[in-house]
Structures are given as C-alpha cells and as structure tokens.
Structure 1
Amino acid sequence: MSDTPFDPDNPPAKVEPPAEPPVAVSPEDEGKPLLGRLTKDDFEKHLNQSFRITLEDEAVDFTLVEVTELPRKVSNAEVAKALGLAERAPFTMIFRGPREAESGQGTFAVEHPEMGHMSLFMVPVQGTDEHIDYEVIFT
C-alpha cells in the first residue's frame, strides 16, 4: 500500500492491460498448445484419429470418437475477455481405448502427431467389455 494520499485533482495514470496476456511457459511445456486457446474445431479435424495417452506410466493409443459443442453460458464470454482470450464455445470430447487401459479419472499426458503434447483431465464415462470411453470437457 502506498504512503502517498490520494489526490482527486491528480489521479494516478490508468494502466492498460497488455494486448496479449503474459504466459509463463516452463521448459517441459515448451511447444505444447495453450489449452485456453484450443477450440472444438482444433480437435474435430482429428476425429477418428489416434491419440497416445499415458495412464499410470503406460502409453496407450485411444481414438477420438466424438467432439460435441455444449450450450454457452454468459460467464464464458466474461472470463475470456478478462483473460484476453477469444471466446470459445464449450465442448466435450470422447476418447475410446481398450478396456484394460481403464485407470480412473485424472490428468493425463496426451500426445498427437499434429497437435503435440498436452495434459488433459479425463474421466471414464462408459464402456463395454472391449473398450472404455474417457470424457474431456473444455469450458
């Protein structure tokens, strides 16, 4: 807190936020996509393609089988504006893998040849005797 009293005839200069919000990128995150900027379209073009997901120290190939836009909420636009990001429509994705790969919910390393490496919070939502589906939600 400043020791200088407020002078209404001489208010402090208005500080403009930077045009692009600063993003701290650690060396291990270098080259990873900024998750706040990924959209439904970024994933939709990779529908039915393989993504390598590391579950409990084992890399397993999953297929992106569904990408669905979710209803928008007013708060999404406010949050995006506050962060200096373009507004993104919320969406959900389903990744399908072998049943024996089920690991519970958690944040897992995901890799795709074109999209690179990212960490996604995934929840197992359904399955059969042969496969397990994991859901990822972007708001």
Structure 2
Amino acid sequence: MAPEIYLKLGYGMAADWWALGITIYVMLLYELPFNNKDPVEQMKSILYDDIIFPEDLSEDACTLIQELLEKDPEFRLGSGDAGAEMIKEHPFFKDMDWDHLLQRRITAPYVLGNEDLESQENPGCQAPALPPTAARIPSELQEAFRGF
C-alpha cells in the first residue's frame, strides 16, 4: 500500500502511481521493494526506508521507480496536472511509441510459446515473493485471449 493509505490521508491517483512503481520494480527485479513478513515492520519500511537498487539496473529504471515510489504523494511522478503524460515522458520510455502501442502496432520483443514452456523443466521466471505461476490454459480456451 502507498504511504498515504497507511497514514490515513486518503486514496487518490497518486496511490495508483505508487502501485505502478511497485509493479515495475517487481517486473524488473523479481522481488518486492519493501518485503517484511511482519506487517508493522512492512509498514515502517514503506513509510521510512529508501529503496536499494542493484548496480546493474539502468539509471533510467532506477529514477522511474524512485519517482513513482516517492513517499509524498504530492511530489510523486504522475501526480501533477499532466498525470500520465509525466510518466510517458520519463527517459525510461524514450524509445516507446505510445501511438503505436495504443493502436496495437507494437510487437512484444519476446512471446512465450508452448514450445518454450515444454522445453523448460521449470517454465518462466518466478519471483520468490509472488504467488506461484497459474496452471497453463488449455489451447481451446487460449483463443479467447488472442489479440491481448
């Protein structure tokens, strides 16, 4: 949860930008930035601790995450009047063509196929702090997801 929720300051769009920062962190590093089994210690970590990044994570990725996980919601990336446009203009996304993305004219750099799953003893990467990977969807049901 975003710090402002713990502090009972209310929930606004800034809390969603916080969630985006957490999501990007997990996608890049396969772990949570604030991870403590004790809920009180977890809350204290969210409220007061700085994020530690590995040295090999790009500067653009680090600044994007830091700005999305700004503790003060008024200064969090995306919280200004420009909203999502502030995030889209971040250097991390310098090569992103947002119009092509919206029109679904961008191909994912890697698409995991059934042959990839079958060739791996333990398919996919799984962050230790995340729930286990869901069971594979039968091919007859996968058609419902075509185009996603």
Q: TM-score, normalised by structure 1?
A: 0.23
Find the structure with the greater CA-based Rg: 1
- Normalised by the length of structure 2, the TM-score is 0.22
